[in-house]
Amino acid sequence: MGTKKDLSLMPVAFGTMKQYSLNEVKKHNSRESLWVILDNGVYDLTAFLNDHPGGEEVLFDRAGLDATDCFNTVGHSLDAKERRELYKIGELEDMERINYKPKEDDDAYEKALKARTNFFKDRVIPAAIVVIAFYVYYFIM
């Protein structure tokens, strides 16, 4: 069956999470204990190794390290983002929290998306209206 979870790693009562140092997380980089950091949260993915859809190799690549960029780059589903919370055991210590800054690529993506939306709104919709008006005028009247 499943691996028993060490209850000392479970979050403490009332929603507060245990805090871990980067050095503590780095120690957990093996098949017996595999932790990663995602958005300053510490996740014990040991029990998830065999179930990871992308294979265990990708988890081993980031074992004991911050995997936020990798996780976000792959484009995980909302379901995957919700499921990851099942494996959360704590947070990075306040002094070691990572300040994630948006990448320039993210801005470029947003600009391209906006340009595509504007093209549709400014060109495609008016063209469709003209075609429909022509059709109505030519075939119906």
Report the distance separating Cα 141 and Cα 129, nearest Å. Answer: 17
Sorting pLDDT into bands at 50, 70 and 90, what band is 4?
very low
Mean pLDDT within 74-91: 90
Mean pLDDT within 36-64: 92
Tokens 């980089």, located at residue:
29
Residue type, 136: V
- Identify the burial level of 45 via C-beta atoms within 10 angstroms of its C-beta, where 0-12 means exposed, 13-18 middle and 19 or more buried: buried
DSSP labels for 87-118? GEEEEE-GGG-------HHHHHHHHHHHHHHH
Mean pLDDT within 72-89: 89
Asked if residue 25 has pLDDT above 80, the reply is yes
Asked if residue 45 has pLDDT above 70, the reply is yes
Report the distance separating Cα 64 and Cα 32, nearest Å. Answer: 12
Report the distance separating Cα 30 and Cα 4, nearest Å. Answer: 17
Structure tokens at 51: 């179930």
Q: What's the pLDDT at 93? A: 93
Instruction: Give the list of residues 6+ apart from residue 10 with CB closer than 8 angstroms, or none.
Output: 89
The CA angle 111-116-120, to the nearest 5 degrees, is 145
